[in-house]
Amino acid sequence: MQKVIVTGGTGYIGSHTVVQLLGEGFEVVIIDNLLNSEASALDGIEKITGQRPLFYQVDLLDYANLQDVLALHKDAVACIHFASLKAVAESMERPLWYYRNNLNGMTNLLEGLRSASVEHVIFSSSASVYGNTTVLPITEALPARNAVSAYGISKQVGEELIDAALVEACFGSAISLRYFNPIGAHSSALIGELPKGRPNNLMPYITQTAAGIRQQLTIFGKDYPTPDGTAVRDYLHVEDVATAHVKALMRLLNGKNEAAHEAFNLGSGNGYSVLEIVQAFERANSIKLNYVFAERRPGDVAELRADASLAVEKLGWTAQRSLEDMVRSAWAWERKARGL
């Protein structure tokens, strides 16, 4: 059995990836500080897979403890690094906190991997490295040094830290996966996204509104130059995102990578407007959502959409699940998590 270390493995995308790794026969070791996730994700993972991964509640900023954990798992073949703060607006209010967490934490991890002799790294990057481009669809050829938020900059620099760690031979090869807008939850409704406090992202805001936790959804902007005036994004199902990590891992394990550090966009290539998401949610779940329109959210652009053909070609991956799957699974998870 090949062992994989997953930082942030109790989080939203991390937990879905852990489920698929276990399903593919990997042994999984999770490192997470539970800052923005719950240990109960381990129960969900166990119910789905019949296996409970080894779990360490360790903060990546705690270098000594991190080293100790990594020293116990020198036989791991790879590390998938999800652990980071991820709220764009919050990152603008507390940029140093974001840099310290996401970048110092990642530096500790990458250096630690050298002594643990882990060969391969997959990095949870983001479409935010492209900044507010108007060139669509977005290919990997577009400059990936244009992030605008502290969150986005932390992902952009995170990719550079991977390059730096390769120079210092901390590991042998890496893939950065640049996600567009992952939404939805596992088909079992046993794991999903459960943001602490007021959600920043559209889908958890919608499900919390449907659950009565929020009074109404505010749609930011109805005067964008898009067909219905609301902003367009490339949404993809979190289970598809998880699959891409397994495919990226197999690419590295099989030595199929064409460079020491590759980067791939993860998107469906489909653009959906906020209103289309709201309507798809209402239709698929037979629910009427309360919503109002408001001013554009600062920093938002009219449209972002991926060209994911490189991932199709090189990883043999495509986003397969439909918008209906995304909105249905998101609501099934919210209901179950809230006992509704």
Piece of 23-31, 136-144, 200-208, 332-340 that binds ligand WQD (CB under 6 A): 200-208
CA distances from 135 to 17, 131, 140, 213 (A): 31, 11, 12, 38
| By CB under 6 A, residue 233 contacts ligand WQD | yes
Size of the site for ligand WQD (CB under 6 A): 19
Q: Give the whole-angstrom CA distance, residue 219 versus residue 301.
A: 14
Q: Which is nearer to ligand WQD, 146 or 218 (CB)?
A: 218
Q: How far apart are the first and last CA of the chain?
A: 39
The residue (of 299 and 316) whose beta carbon lies closer to ligand WQD is 299
Half-sphere exposure of 263 (CA within 13 A, CB side): 23
**Site mask, ligand WQD, residues 59-98, x = CB under 6 A?**
---------------------------x-x----------
Burial of 227 (0-12, 13-18, 19+ CB in 10 A): exposed
In this structure, are residues 186 and 239 in contact, taking their beta carbons and an 8 Å threshold?
yes
Residue 264: helix, strand or coil by DSSP?
strand
Are 51 and 26 within 8 A, CB to CB?
A: no
Q: Which of 65, 132, 200, 270 binds ligand WQD (CB under 6 A)?
A: 200
For the bound state, the minimum distance from the C-beta of residue 119 to ligand WQD, rounded and expressed in Å, comes to 27
- The answer to whether 240 and 323 are in contact (CB under 8 A) is no
**From 218, 270, 309, 322, residue interacting with ligand WQD (rule: CB under 6 A):** 218
Give yes or no for a contact between 162 and 122, defined as CB atoms under 8 angstroms apart: no
**Which residues are known catalytic residues?**
151
* CA–CA separation, 280 and 282 (whole Å): 6
Residue 231 binds ligand WQD, judged by CB under 6 A: yes
Q: Is 214 in the site for ligand WQD (CB under 6 A)?
A: no
Q: Which is nearer to ligand WQD, 111 or 234 (CB)?
A: 234
Give every CB contact of residue 245 below 8 A, 6+ residues apart in sequence: 17, 20, 21, 80, 122, 177
> Looking at beta carbons only, is 73 or 233 nearer to ligand WQD?
233
3-state secondary structure of 260: coil
> Which of 88, 122 has the CB closer to ligand WQD?
88
Residue 86 or 328 having the CB closest to ligand WQD: 86
Site string for ligand WQD, 108-147 (x = CB under 6 A): ------------------xxx-------------------
What tokens appear for 62 in the block? 């705690």
DSSP 8-state secondary structure symbol assigned to residue 147: -
Piece of the chain touching ligand WQD by CB under 6 A; list 33-41, 197-205, 305-313, 314-322: 197-205
Task: Determine if 274 is a binding residue for ligand WQD (CB under 6 A).
Answer: yes
- Which residues have CB under 8 Å from 9's CB, separation 6+? 15, 17, 18, 28, 30, 31, 32, 53, 55, 82
List the structure tokens of 197. 């406090």
Asked if 166 touches ligand WQD (CB under 6 A), the answer is no
**Rule CB under 6 A: is residue 205 a binding residue for ligand WQD?**
yes
Pairing of strands 235-237, 181-183: parallel
Is residue 202 a contact residue for ligand WQD (CB under 6 A)? yes
User: Shortest gap between Cβ of 173 and ligand WQD (angstroms)?
Assistant: 25
Pick the closer one to ligand WQD by CB: 156 or 257. Answer: 156
Name the residues that contact ligand WQD, by CB under 6 A: 86, 88, 126-128, 181, 200-202, 205, 217-220, 231, 233, 274, 297, 300
